[in-house]
Amino acid sequence: MKRVLLSMAAVLTVAAAMFVATGEKVLAADDTIKIGVFEPLTGENGGGGSQEVDGIKYANKVYPEVLGKKVELVIVDNKSDKAEAVVAATRLVEKEKVAAVIGSYGSGVSIAAGDIFRNAKVPAMGASCTNPMVTEGNEFYFRACFLDPFQGTVLANYAVAQGKKKAAVITQLGDDYSSGLGSFFTREFKKLGGEIVSDQQFQTNEQDFNSILTNAKSAGADVIFAPSSIVSAGLIIKQARALGITALIMGGDTWENESIIQVAGEAAEGVVLSTFFDENNSAATAEAKKFVPGFKEFLGGKDPIIPAVAALGYDAYYVILDAIKRAGSTDGDAIRKALTETKGLEGVTGSFQFDENGDAQKDFAVIKVIKGGKFEYLSSQSVAK
């Protein structure tokens, strides 16, 4: 049998003929722009990471192209683990050759991967990673959310406004998000005249919080602030109420997840948390007004509310695409420069421009309460600078 060797030109001609015959486009490698999605899909932050990925996927559906090319999402699981985060980030920049990265849910894994992205000159856009160290000293890391110093200040102000004077702070040992937010809350609460009567830490994967909570109760705490992962939150809430603790229980943005209510049950009633977005905000941007019904349809109605981290995931993609478009290139330095020049871009969670650290200049947080098994809007809070 005679073998026939086709030239590359001939292969492309055949591919083009297939497109004409079948109506299906055959994409060459240079017809696609890859964007890495660096998120926890498993581990203690898997629930929140999955919500963030949903928002990114929906944004990719709404805006599937840039510079005339298809945008391909390359999703990697950092497994809520700092060591795994380095592996996942390295894969994105070395093997997948992504033009930019979105993520991660969880400040610890974002910090762990920061040098990987910076050294490769691949711009990264954090969606909900709130610890200041994510972007500090890293000109290639940006973020779409407010920071923990702001979030901690807002929550402390809210607690004091409710007449709370004695706080118990419960944080997770070795977790940058938890310890950072706990310290910022503590600083502001004390500044406002409050007293920290109990300051305790727990190990990752801890299941029994009774001893910590008993100490908080004995100290006379009238508010418990426990910034933690989704997995820990439900257990802390349930065990606190089982011990007869009536203090106000508060958490940060990670607590806006239905699984917390499922675990804590009726004990979740009255729990207060801060977050980034409320779908019923009457002052929503034009992008938000399109996003809310579209995203609910995209989810197939499986979630009763839209998680704020999903809205931030959408925005992170939207901002990155805008920067690539304005840069007219997938060069990392060009995209980074375009991001620094972002001004007045209206996304779902507000208007975007970035300060010298690459942080979005957000000046308000949403306060929600769990009522009747649902997250309900309480107020929008800002802090005078």
- pLDDT for residue 30: 77
Is residue 172 within 8 Å of residue 202, measured between CB atoms?
yes
Nearest to 307 by CA among 46, 47, 37: 47
- pLDDT for residue 29: 55
- Cα end-to-end distance, the chain, whole Å: 80
- pLDDT for residue 15: 40
- pLDDT for residue 283: 63
- pLDDT for residue 163: 98
- pLDDT for residue 4: 40
- pLDDT for residue 6: 42
25 Ramachandran zone, left/alpha/beta (phi>0; psi -120 to 50):
beta
- Please list the residue range(s) of the chain that carry CATH number 3.40.50.2300: 32-146+285-354, 149-275+366-381
- pLDDT for residue 38: 98
Which residues of the chain fall below pLDDT 50?
A: 1-28, 385
Strands 100-102 and 166-172: unpaired
- pLDDT for residue 384: 52
- pLDDT for residue 110: 97
Is residue 275 within 8 Å of residue 365, measured between CB atoms?
yes
DSSP 8-state class, residue 41: S
- pLDDT for residue 17: 40
The pTM of the full predicted model, rounded to 2 decimals, is: 0.84
Query: Which CATH number fits the domain 32-146+285-354, given the four candidates 3.30.70.580, 3.40.50.2300, 3.20.20.70, 3.10.20.310?
Result: 3.40.50.2300
CATH number for the region 149-275+366-381 comes to: 3.40.50.2300
Instruction: Say which residue the tokens 């695409």 belong to.
Output: 321
- pLDDT for residue 284: 76
- What are the Cα distances from residue 267, in Å, to 124, 159, 169, 274, 370? 38, 19, 19, 18, 10
CA atoms within 13 A on the CB side of 92: 37
Residue 137 burial class via C-beta count within 10 angstroms: exposed 0-12, middle 13-18, buried 19 and up: exposed
